[in-house]
Copies of this chain bind each other. A is one copy, B any other.
């Protein structure tokens, strides 16, 4: 952050004048003898706050926004992290390949909805979301996840982050909450921002550690049994039952089951969700369309056990639904006409293919000797444990110099542990084409196997 502060002050003092070109990240990193990633983080924050803008193909320029300089302002990349022009193969985990999205079908249905349903389109909808969408979701869960629920138990919301916040309000902020460690960082951040007691749940080879949960005196746990992010562990039935026994052995214990990406399973039979074997209404199921449709849409849902519905409607029923009716109607029709199922099946094939291409390339002869791959059963990324003497920082840096970006596994730990992984990185494959995966793997080889 020192670099960020320095540049920000220089711009505010007009020592760096508006329109002045900043050094390229590579040049600045080299000059200051710091990592490109440090410079990149500083530039990203400056861009997000409007101090600098990026002109694609040209570089970074100091800018301010007091005069509503529309054209320059609007050229700003709308993502928080500017695309690294030196990185050609970004193995990021949250990239959905939007070129695979059936956009013209979605647009056609959107237009239909616009032309037919003007009255419903303008009025407020049911607090839990329009009945038709909840019905489609319930049918999807029944057909694809073996989960039998009523539309009344479903609550649609503008993102999993929002719904998680609602769950915290429902169950109570004073609970001791446990989040998987490692895990999806945002989960930790949401609980941390909304509660006062967040604990790490260590992972073992079977998944979230039931023993540790009991040991910490935790009340509510957030777990990803279908496919752990980022380790890829699939929680087997015996561990699931352990977790349920833990929950049942005391009043007011709950399990939040985040079933994100459960659609993309490549090996073995899908295991039905924890909620489907929960007899005492202690499992809250949550899932999203953000990973299966597109990140711009922000539609997620949770399924509350029947036992919690009354508490939900009486305590939190005053909240209006956060998803626009238009999106809900379009999605409901998209699902009704079978487009969602077809899209999932198509994406599953595409992602499996990409997984195979990357895994194969990395397993080739010399590369395969030094890289151990894990987490291949499901999801959109894999773990690479590299045995070439480099630690994860060097792995990331050398890869970046060769134009490929991978991610330190340690970044997914919100709590430090004594046995932090040292040489494992995360490589997502969902956002890259087959060609890019091959070239990206070659770049990794160049970086790590020389």
With an 8 A cutoff between CB atoms, is A131 at the interface?
yes
Contact with B along A79-96 (1 / 0, CB 8 A): 110000000000000001
Q: How far is B291's CA from A32's CA once the two chains are assembled, in angstroms?
A: 52
Q: Across the interface, do A326 and B323 meet the contact criterion of CB distance under 8 Å?
A: no
With an 8 A cutoff between CB atoms, is A50 at the interface?
yes
What size tier do the contact residues of chain A reach? Answer: 35 or more
Q: Across the interface, do A74 and B132 meet the contact criterion of CB distance under 8 Å?
A: yes
Q: Across the interface, do B296 and A123 meet the contact criterion of CB distance under 8 Å?
A: yes
| Most-contacted residue by chain B among A78, A299, A313 (CB, 10 A) | A78
Q: Across the interface, do A152 and B189 meet the contact criterion of CB distance under 8 Å?
A: no
Across the interface, which residues of B come within 8 angstroms of A120, CB to CB? 78, 296
- CB-nearest residue of chain B to A161: B319
Pick the contact of A162 from B103, B122, B295, B322 — CB < 8 Å?
A: B322
Contact with B along A317-349 (1 / 0, CB 8 A): 111111111110000000000000000000000
Main secondary structure of the interface of A (DSSP, over half): helix
Q: How far is B320's CA from A364's CA once the two chains are assembled, in angstroms?
A: 39
Number of copies: 2
Across the interface, which residues of B come within 8 angstroms of A185, CB to CB? 318
Q: How far is B69's CA from A150's CA once the two chains are assembled, in angstroms?
A: 11
| Most-contacted residue by chain B among A120, A122, A185, A310 (CB, 10 A) | A122
Q: Across the interface, do A74 and B131 meet the contact criterion of CB distance under 8 Å?
A: yes
Q: Across the interface, do B296 and A322 meet the contact criterion of CB distance under 8 Å?
A: no
Given that A98-B119, A138-B68, A152-B49 are known contacts, is A126 also in contact with B324, CB under 8 Å in the complex?
A: no
With an 8 A cutoff between CB atoms, is A159 at the interface?
yes
CB under 8 Å from chain B, chain A span 107-151: 107, 110-111, 114-115, 118-127, 130-132, 135, 138-139, 150-151
Pick the contact of A324 from B135, B296, B320 — CB < 8 Å?
A: B296
- CB-nearest residue of chain B to A101: B122
CB under 8 Å from chain B, chain A span 144-170: 150-152, 158-159, 161-162, 165, 169
Pick the contact of A298 from B48, B76, B296, B320 — CB < 8 Å?
A: B320
- Nearest Cβ in chain B — how far from A309, in angstroms? 7
With an 8 A cutoff between CB atoms, is A193 at the interface?
yes
- Nearest Cβ in chain B — how far from A127, in angstroms? 6
- CB-nearest residue of chain B to A150: B65
Q: How far is B120's CA from A101's CA once the two chains are assembled, in angstroms?
A: 13
Q: How far is B140's CA from A104's CA once the two chains are assembled, in angstroms?
A: 33
Pick the contact of A123 from B98, B193, B320 — CB < 8 Å?
A: B98
Across the interface, which residues of B come within 8 angstroms of A123, CB to CB? 78-79, 98, 294-296
Q: Across the interface, do A150 and B322 meet the contact criterion of CB distance under 8 Å?
A: no
Q: Across the interface, do A124 and B79 meet the contact criterion of CB distance under 8 Å?
A: yes
Across the interface, which residues of B come within 8 angstroms of A318, CB to CB? 185-186, 189-190
Across the interface, which residues of B come within 8 angstroms of A321, CB to CB? 298
Across the interface, which residues of B come within 8 angstroms of A239, CB to CB? none
Given A49-B313, A169-B193, A297-B324, 15 more A-B residue pairs with CB atoms under 8 Å apart are: A45-B313, A49-B152, A50-B152, A73-B135, A74-B131, A103-B122, A110-B110, A120-B296, A125-B296, A158-B323, A162-B322, A185-B318, A193-B316, A297-B326, A327-B327
A-B contact pairs, 12 of them (CB 8 A): A49-B313, A68-B135, A79-B124, A107-B114, A110-B114, A110-B326, A122-B294, A123-B294, A123-B296, A162-B322, A190-B318, A322-B322
